[in-house]
Amino acid sequence: MIRQYWNSATVKFVYGLARRFWLLVVLVILVTFLAGIFESLCIAILIPFLSALSGVPYEASNKVLSYFYEFINQSRIQHDTTLLLLFIFILFVLRSLMLWLSAFLQNFFSYRLSVLLRRNFLLYIYDTSWQFLVQQKFGHMQHIMSRGIPQVVDFFSRGVGFFHNALLLSVYVVFAFMVSPSMTLIALGGGLIFILLLQFLVLTIRRYSRRIVELEKDFAHYIYQLVTGIKMIKSSVSRALIQQQIEKFSKEFMDASFSFSALYPLGTIFFQPLAVFLVFAIFFFSYEKPGFHFASFVVLLYLIYRIVSQVQSMQNIIQSLASYLPQVSNFAGFYHTLAEQKEEDSAQGLPFVFDKEIQLAQVGFAYNGSKTIFHDLTFTIKKGSTVGIVGTSGVGKTTLADLILRLLHPTAGKILIDGKNIKDISLKDWRRHIGYVSQDPFLFNDTIRNNIKLYDDSIDDALVLQALERAYIGDLIKQLPRGLDTLVGDRGMTLSVGQRQRLVLARIFARDPELIILDEATSALDNESESMVRQSVDSFQGKKTVMIIAHRLTTVMNVDQILVLDDGRI
C-alpha cells in the first residue's frame, strides 16, 4: 500500500521541495538541537542540587557528566543558591528562545510553501496544453486548490515537526543514558513495542484517508457542476434527483469519516496508560537495586516524561502523515502531469509580423487519434479582410479557431502567416496580436475597469472608455452610479448576455489586435444586441482582419468571403 503512494512522482515532488527548502530545515534542526542541549544542562544541574538538599552524595558514572559536575564544583555556582537558580533560569530562557525560533522557522516554511504551491499550480494550469485541460474535471482541480494544497503544506510541516521531535528525543535519550542506561533501555523498549503494535492502525487510517480524498474530489466536482448549471437544474424541477445524489455522496463520506474518526485517536488514548506503566516498571526495577539514588531517579523520571512526550508526538505525526499521504500522492501526480503537459512554444521565437495573409495549407487534425476532424483543409485569409466560417454543429468550426489560436496543433499540414509557419513564432507574441470572443463571454467578479484592462496598467481609463464606445456600451456604463468601478458579479451575472458580450468586445478593442476571431459570438444574443455587435465588427472592415464563425448565414452577410466547412474540408 505504501508503494501505491510513494510512486516516482511523489518521491520526485517531495525531494524537489526538500532541496528547495534545505536551508530552513537545517536551521530548524540546529536551533532544536541547541534547545535540547540547554534543557539537558538545566536538568544536569538539578542532580547535585537535589543531592545536596537530601544529604546523599551523587557520583556520576559517565565521564561527560563527571567533567560537567567538576566544572560546577570549581565555580561559585554550586555554593551560591541564588547564582545557581539564576544560571538555571538563563538556560531555560535560552531553551525557550530556541524553541520559539524553531516554531517561527516552521511557520515561515509553511507559509512560503503554501504560496509557492498555489503560485506554481496556477501557472502550470495556465501553461498546460488546452487538449489536456479540456479532458480534466475542473471540480477536481478546484478541490486540489482549496483542500489539497493545505493538506500538502500540513504534510511537509508535520514532516519537519517530526525531525524536530526526533532530534529532541535523541538529546533526551543520550542524556538519559548518561544518568542510567538500564532504566533508559526499559523506557525505550516499551515505547518501541507500542509503536510496532500501532503499525496496523496506521495502515488502516491511511486506507480510510484515501477513500475520503477520492470522495472529496468527486463531491467537489459535483458541486462545481451544480453551481454552474443551477439555472437549468432549477428550471427542470430536478431537486429530488439532485438530493438523492447529494445524500448518496454524504452517506459514503460519513461512513468513511466515521471509521477514520474512530481510529485516529486510539494511538493517543493508549499511549498515556503505557507511560504510567513504564514509570512504575522503572521504579520497581531500580528501587531495590544497590546504588539507587533518589535525585537521579527524579531527573530520570523527568527525562522519561520528555522522551514519552516526544514519542507520543512523533506517533501522532506518523498518523497524520499516513492520513495526508494519499492527498500528497494525488497532488504530486497531478502536479507532475501538469508540468509534463506544458504547452508547446516556438524554439525560434520569431516576432509576430502580419503584412499579407494567413494561409492554411493541407491542414489535418484529429483528437488523440480519434475520428478525423479536418483533412486537406486549405484556404487563405487576406490581411484586412472579414471572413465568415459557417457549417453545421460539430463540423469543427471552434476547432478551427483553436488551431489558429494555437490551443491545438495540426496533425498534418501547416498554418502560415506571410509564408512563415506560425509554430515558429513566439506563442506569447502570437496571442498578444489575436483577440478571441466566444459564445460564452467570461467576466471576472470584479469592476468593469479591471475586466477591460485585465489588470494591464498600460491600458489607461481613456483607452478603456474608448473601447467601450467602440463596443456600443459606453453610454450604459456612464449611466451606472459607480461607472467603471461597478462590480459585474460572478461571471458578469448582473449584466445581460448582450451587455456581457459587448464588454468582452471592449476588452478586445482595448488591446488593438491584428486578428479578431468571433466564435458564435452573437448566437445567444437578441436582435438589438446582435445588431450592436455587428456594428462594432463592421467598423473594423478594411482595418483589421476578422474571422466570424457562425452557423447562420445571416450572421455573415456583410463579410468579404464566406467559407463553408463540410466533412473536414472547405
DSSP letters spanning 102-161: HHHHHHHHHHHHHHHHHHHHHHHHHHB-HHHHTTS-HHHHHHIIIIIHHHHHHHHHHHHH
pLDDT of 295 higher than 70? no
pLDDT of 467 higher than 80? yes
Q: Of 541 and 289, which is predicted with more confidence?
A: 541
Phi-psi region of 542 (alpha: psi -120 to 50; beta: other; left: phi over 0): left
Which has the minimum average pLDDT: 137-146, 417-426, 460-469? 137-146
Q: How far apart are CA 299 and CA 319, in angstroms?
A: 30
Could you tell me which of 51, 319, 347, 65 has the C-alpha nearest to residue 204? 319
Could you tell me which of 124, 54, 49 has the C-alpha nearest to residue 87? 49
Task: Provide the grid cell at 428.
Answer: 506569447
Q: What are phi and psi of 18, to 5 degrees?
A: -65, -40
pLDDT of 258 higher than 80? no
pLDDT of 525 higher than 80? no
Per-residue pLDDT, 2: 46
Q: Of 469 and 303, which is predicted with more confidence?
A: 469
Burial level of 135, CB count in 10 A (0-12/13-18/19+)? Answer: exposed
Please give the average per-residue pLDDT across 552-560, as a whole number: 76
563 pLDDT band (50/70/90 cuts)?
confident
62 pLDDT band (50/70/90 cuts)?
low
Q: Of 428 and 382, which is predicted with more confidence?
A: 382
Interaxial angle between packed helices 149-179 and 81-127, expressed in degrees from 0 to 180 and rounded to the nearest 10: 150
HSE (side-chain half, CA atoms, 13 Å) at 292:
12
pLDDT of 170 higher than 80? yes
pLDDT of 231 higher than 50? no
Per-residue pLDDT, 230: 53
Per-residue pLDDT, 60: 52
Whether pTM exceeds 0.75: no
Burial string for 196-219 (b: 16+ CB within 10 Å, else e) reads eebeebbebbbebbbbbbebbbbb
pLDDT of 376 higher than 80? yes
Q: How far apart are CA 60 and CA 379, in angstroms?
A: 95
DSSP secondary structure code for residue 555 in this structure: G
Per-residue pLDDT, 235: 44
Per-residue pLDDT, 486: 84
Could you tell me which of 53, 49, 54, 93 has the C-alpha nearest to residue 72? 49
pLDDT of 399 higher than 60? yes
Per-residue pLDDT, 266: 65
Per-residue pLDDT, 218: 72
290 pLDDT band (50/70/90 cuts)?
low
Could you tell me which of 511, 559, 507, 561 has the C-alpha nearest to residue 537? 559
Please give the average per-residue pLDDT across 465-486, as a whole number: 82
Q: Of 258 and 310, which is predicted with more confidence?
A: 310
179 C-beta neighbours (distance < 10 Å), count: 22
Q: How far apart are CA 307 and CA 449, in angstroms?
A: 61
Sign of CA dihedral 452, 457, 459, 462: positive
Percent of the chain with pLDDT over 90: 1
Q: Of 422 and 212, which is predicted with more confidence?
A: 422
Please give the average per-residue pLDDT across 170-179, as a whole number: 79
Q: What is the pLDDT of residues 112-166, one digit of tens each?
A: 888 888 888 878 888 888 888 777 777 677 777 777 788 888 888 888 888 888 8
pLDDT of 77 higher than 70? no
Contacts of 516 (CB under 8 A, 6+ apart): 434, 435, 436, 437, 508, 537, 540, 544, 545, 546, 547
Total residues found in the chain within this entry: 570
Which has the minimum average pLDDT: 30-34, 91-95, 277-281, 321-325? 277-281
343 pLDDT band (50/70/90 cuts)?
confident
Please give the average per-residue pLDDT across 460-483, as a whole number: 83
Per-residue pLDDT, 275: 65
Q: What is the pLDDT of residues 190-206, one digit of tens each?
A: 667 766 766 676 677 76
Compute the mean pLDDT over every residue in the chain, rounded to the nearest whole number.
76
Which has the minimum average pLDDT: 16-30, 71-85, 118-132, 431-445? 71-85
Q: How far apart are CA 46 and CA 28, in angstroms?
A: 28
Contacts of 78 (CB under 8 A, 6+ apart): 48, 72, 84
Burial string for 315-347 (b: 16+ CB within 10 Å, else e) reads bbbbbbbbbbbbbbbbbbbbbbebeebebeebe
Please give the average per-residue pLDDT across 22-49, as a whole number: 78
DSSP secondary structure code for residue 556 in this structure: G
pLDDT of 406 higher than 50? yes
